[in-house]
Amino acid sequence: MWMAPICLVSEAAELAARRHAGMARKGRGDEPYVNHLAEVANLLATVTGGRDADLVAVGWLHDTIEDTATTQEELADKFNPHVASLVAEVTDDMRLPKSTRRQLQIVDAPGKSPGAKLVKIADKISNIRARIHSDPSQEEREDLADYVEWAEKVVAGCRGGNATLDRLFDDTVKLARSSL
């Protein structure tokens, strides 16, 4: 089913907001989770000059299979098979232990499609930003340091698809390290 680009992005934002309603963002107190999805989608829109509606829609939807009862088939029916497959490609298997999921992200990153790599980098930028606090506790510092170290390993396998996004990631890591 073909959808006009602005409609595709708008429909993705609405579905993501509805499916994540009531969820709070980890790392930013009670901030609504949808803010993370908006940030990832906006990063992708910005670094691609708004030329890839499918990718921006995936930014909105990237956590729907992982965090909600949404299925890849549902996304394919509502949007298109490309959007659904990209969302599935960036989805972790939540049945696995966290340490296994993290290791799989590092190992699998180089084999991801170009679009999935961009989503992964944008997601890591947003997650690092959420962990940066002006007066962090020791626990927050340790969480940030651990997350940055792991994110750098994942992103190492994703680089090269968009120089602006790569630079934004590096700038975000520098900011995080300066807050430790």
Residues annotated catalytic, as ranges: 66-67
* CA-based end-to-end distance of the chain: 48
How far is Cα 131 from Cα 144, in angstroms, rounded to an integer? Answer: 6
Round to whole Å and give the CA distance between 55 and 40.
10
Residues, the chain, total?
180
DSSP string, 52-115: -HHHHHHHHHTTHHHHSS--HHHHHHHT-HHHHHHHHHT---TTS-HHHHHHHHHHHGGGS-HH
Retrieve residue 94's tokens: 């939540």
Q: Is 22 strand, coil or helix? A: coil
